[in-house]
């Protein structure tokens, strides 16, 4: 698949919009060329970071593809909501955001915490979501858990606020190339992204409290791509295997790498996403691994 000329690409436009009384910071790239009438790709981010952290992923996508990113309420440049929210309420808020942008249907890619939101969107608003990509994510409260030491480090936003601490623990919690280059984790979390108030992080944690997608995965009817790293301390590889087994129209792609490789190794992994979004299947073999 060739890369289109950069002149074909639409610019990313960052602005603020009001959605149900909450000011949200968003980034929108309109689809052009063959994607002008196609549903855009909505990106749902991990916990505690603004949408800039996903820039390498966006850069690796076809530049003509429409892409929507947003800061979760209380994170990055989006306003803190007046009260904590459950994940179902956030899914409803997101569909209202997309409708306000003129998109009644969209594809969704969820990374880590955002993968939980993507699963909720797919079952709660099934007529709005066309295709689903789940990357380095689990099924919530009922899943194969990370080691307690990893969960403890994830329970606070310290890594988003302390670059030295982020570099010290990056290999332990993210795995993959960050084991040999832990400073990469600090650069990723601190060079371009902003975290927002501490309460925003805890609101995100609370949104998933008691939530699990396990009972409804068999109800997902969208074509779904499940991606997981074989060296992901946060999401053990048994979790993407389970998701792919339970979702009726799922494909599994396992890669050698860690929790954030879809961003740090985007040039290697995003072509898998592009093939899937285009409706092409031969890139991924039944065992979940890409052909040599």
Which residues does the annotation mark as catalytic? 112
* Class of residue 155 by CB neighbours under 10 A (exposed 0-12, middle 13-18, buried 19+): exposed
Token pair 């108030």 is found at 197
* Class of residue 97 by CB neighbours under 10 A (exposed 0-12, middle 13-18, buried 19+): buried
Q: Please tell me the distance from the alpha carbon of residue 115 to that of residue 59, in angstroms, as a whole number.
A: 20
- Nearest to 65, CA basis, from 252, 251, 276, 223: 276
The residue ranges of DSSP E strands in 60-193, in sequence order, are 67-70, 106-111, 129-135
205-211, long-range: CB < 8 A, 24+ apart: 205/47, 205/155, 206/84, 207/84, 207/85, 207/86, 207/87, 207/90, 208/87, 208/113, 208/116, 208/140, 208/141, 209/141, 210/141, 211/86, 211/87, 211/116, 211/120, 211/140, 211/141
Q: Please tell me the distance from the alpha carbon of residue 54 to that of residue 266, in angstroms, as a whole number.
A: 10
- Nearest to 284, CA basis, from 255, 245, 248, 247: 255
């Amino acid at each position: 698949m060739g890369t289109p000329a950069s002149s074909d690409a639409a610019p990313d436009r960052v602005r603020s919009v009001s959605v149900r009384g909450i000011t949200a910071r968003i980034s929108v790239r309109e689809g052009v060329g063959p994607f002008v009438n196609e549903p855009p790709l909505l990106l749902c981010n991990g916990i505690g970071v603004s949408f800039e952290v996903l820039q390498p992923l966006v850069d690796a996508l076809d530049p003509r593809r429409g892409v929507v990113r947003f800061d979760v309420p209380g994170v990055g440049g989006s306003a803190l909501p007046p009260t904590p929210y459950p994940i179902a309420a956030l899914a409803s808020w997101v569909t209202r955001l997309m409708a306000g942008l003129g998109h009644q249907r969209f594809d969704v890619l969820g990374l880590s915490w955002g993968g939980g939101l993507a699963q909720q969107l797919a079952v709660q608003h099934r007529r709005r979501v066309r295709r689903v990509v789940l990357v380095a994510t689990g099924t919530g409260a009922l899943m194969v858990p990370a080691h307690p030491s990893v969960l403890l480090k994830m329970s606070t936003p310290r890594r988003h606020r302390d670059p030295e601490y982020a570099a010290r623990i990056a290999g332990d919690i993210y795995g993959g190339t960050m084991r040999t280059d832990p400073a990469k984790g600090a650069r990723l979390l601190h060079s371009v992204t902003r975290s927002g108030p501490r309460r925003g992080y805890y609101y995100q944690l609370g949104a998933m409290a008691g939530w699990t997608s396990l009972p409804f995965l068999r109800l997902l009817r969208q074509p779904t791509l499940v991606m997981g790293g074989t060296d992901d301390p946060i999401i053990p590889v048994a979790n993407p295997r389970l998701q792919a087994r339970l979702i009726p129209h799922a494909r599994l792609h396992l890669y050698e790498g860690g929790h954030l490789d879809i961003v740090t190794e985007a040039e290697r992994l995003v072509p898998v996403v592009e093939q899937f979004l285009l409706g092409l299947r031969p890139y991924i073999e039944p065992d979940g691994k890409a052909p040599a």
